[in-house]
A = this chain, B = another copy of it.
Amino acid sequence: MKRTELPRAEALCARYLDKKQPVLAAVSGGADSMCLLYFLREQGYDVSCAHFNHQLRGAEAARDENFVRAWCEKEGIPFYPGTGDVRAHARATGKTEEEAGRDLRYAFLRETAQMLGAQIALAHHLDDNAETVLLNLVRGTDLRGLCGMRPRQGDIVRPFLGQTREELVTYARAHNIPHVEDHTNADPNAAARNYLRLEILPRLRELNPRAPQHIAATARSLTVLDDALEQAAEAALSHAKAQDGGISLSLNCFLAADEVVQPRILLHLADALGLGRKDIGRKQLDAICALAQRGGSAERRYTLPQGALVRIADGSLTMAFSPAALPKAVLVENVPLPWGNFELTLLHKPDGEGISLRAPEDGEIITVAPCDLNARLMLQGANGARSVKRLCVDRKLSLTERDALPALYVGGQLAAVWRLGTDVTFLPEGGDAACFVRIIPR
């Protein structure tokens, strides 16, 4: 084999794949991944083959698995088959079959690679990348989506990302590498890709024969930009800390970042909180940035999907799950309950900080929930009952603090609010409390 047959693939291997470590190639049996398997072995890698059967194409799927297995046996390449019920997983998780398939396939790949101590290689090539960029573009995307796939993404390497489909076809022909055709049209993404490949890209090539190369080159050059913005966002985020039951960043630090970096900081905060990025769009990011840039000392709030809340107050920008989203939960004796910023445990006698209550009567359960601002508490020695809202104002509690306070209900009635006090009706009789809710910050 001439050493310059697939020069860009060799360069990507040299850069991203360690010769001393085994490589696990994900192989469907199609031309691209069969080429990858062959190429990696020719390049001298200790290569194994992972094949995942999606069980979506019946006999054809079995044919593909058998084809890849037989070829690997003949060539003496270790073969690792995997499978999973993609349809069932999609049903169970509410994901599309495409997403569910990817989940299961990647989990299988990672497990197998871990077992082998191997690096993972995928066969995506330049035309795949151009298709990805175009697909993102017509479906709506931002800079990130225009960067397409990367030659290395986490634990995954794509050695063929700089080679065209045509170059791989030529390589397969020159080396008599066999393959099977995948006739899947089951998932909409495959259909869209087929349409792009068969109907649209040939027409773009009419406009410019090197259209896929140009699109991939643009993607590559935008990657540099994207990485730089990402680094700037991460640098700012290194100053964030857990606070108020969420993640918090000084407003100065946020505003010091370039305005094109600020939306990315918000996305990173969402990541840190465990929110999905998909639920936060351009419009919301812009609105939060505008709020942050607006001066003044008054607290500003913005509600995100999934019950998350952005609060700008006291020189900080905090993203937290909204208190409104904090659940109503039953306290079970001696079982610690994580709730918002606190851990609550129902005990028989006082132990540390907490709230003492009269012993519950038969059938009364004790629950924790966010405090209802309009509910009233009659505190010992007070001149009548007062609303929770009023008590918070008296105690100079911020909106942030107020929303995070656990309220205890006994038999459905408000018995106490942490830091505000216990309603006289629910105070323990005598000196010893027969019921204590320990409350410790998390």
Decide if A140 touches B218 in the complex (CB within 8 Å): yes
Decide if B258 touches A140 in the complex (CB within 8 Å): no
Decide if B195 touches A225 in the complex (CB within 8 Å): no
Q: Mark A109-147, 1 if CB is under 8 A from B, else 0.
A: 000000000000000000000000011011111110110
Decide if B258 touches A228 in the complex (CB within 8 Å): yes
If A135-B207, A195-B207, A228-B260 touch, whether A217 touches B143 (CB-CB below 8 Å) is no
Residue among A140, A207, A217 with the highest chain B CB neighbour number at 10 A: A207
Q: Which of A151-159, A198-206, A393-401 contacts B (4 or more CB under 8 A)?
A: A198-206
A224 interface residue (CB < 8 Å to B): yes
Query: In residues 180-232 of chain A, which contact B (Cβ within 8 Å)?
Result: 192, 195-196, 199-200, 203-204, 206-208, 210-211, 214-215, 217-218, 221-222, 224-225, 228-229, 232
Q: A300 → chain B, closest Cβ, in Å?
A: 22
A2 interface residue (CB < 8 Å to B): no
Decide if B206 touches A142 in the complex (CB within 8 Å): no
A74 interface residue (CB < 8 Å to B): no
Decide if A141 touches B222 in the complex (CB within 8 Å): no
Bound complex: CA A214 to CA B224 (Å): 23
If A228-B258, A260-B224 touch, whether A141 touches B218 (CB-CB below 8 Å) is yes
Query: In residues 307-321 of chain A, which contact B (Cβ within 8 Å)?
Result: none
Q: Mark A245-261, 1 if CB is under 8 A from B, else 0.
A: 00000000000001110
Decide if B206 touches A195 in the complex (CB within 8 Å): yes
A282 interface residue (CB < 8 Å to B): yes
Interface of A is mostly: helix
Inter-chain contacts of A200 with B (CB < 8 A): 200, 203-204, 207
If A195-B207, A218-B141 touch, whether A228 touches B259 (CB-CB below 8 Å) is yes
Decide if A214 touches B141 in the complex (CB within 8 Å): yes
Chain multiplicity (copies): 2
In the complex formed, the residue of B with least CB distance to A218 is B141
Decide if A218 touches B142 in the complex (CB within 8 Å): yes
Q: A222 → chain B, closest Cβ, in Å?
A: 7
Bound complex: CA A200 to CA B202 (Å): 10
Inter-chain contacts of A258 with B (CB < 8 A): 228, 232
Decide if B215 touches A138 in the complex (CB within 8 Å): yes
Inter-chain contacts of A204 with B (CB < 8 A): 134, 138, 200
Residue among A138, A146, A199, A207 with the highest chain B CB neighbour number at 10 A: A138
Bound complex: CA A186 to CA B118 (Å): 58
Bound complex: CA A274 to CA B132 (Å): 38
Bound complex: CA A138 to CA B218 (Å): 9
Decide if B260 touches A215 in the complex (CB within 8 Å): no
If A146-B146, A203-B199 touch, whether A139 touches B214 (CB-CB below 8 Å) is yes
Bound complex: CA A146 to CA B146 (Å): 10
Inter-chain contacts of A208 with B (CB < 8 A): 138-140
Q: A277 → chain B, closest Cβ, in Å?
A: 15
Which of B137, B214, B260 is within 8 Å of A214, CB to CB?
B137
Sampled A-B contacts (22; CB under 8 Å)? A135-B207, A137-B218, A138-B208, A139-B211, A139-B214, A140-B214, A140-B217, A142-B221, A143-B222, A146-B218, A195-B207, A199-B203, A200-B203, A200-B204, A217-B282, A224-B259, A224-B260, A225-B225, A225-B260, A228-B258, A228-B259, A228-B260
A contacts, CB < 8 Å to B: 134-135, 137-143, 145-146, 192, 195-196, 199-200, 203-204, 206-208, 210-211, 214-215, 217-218, 221-222, 224-225, 228-229, 232, 258-260, 282
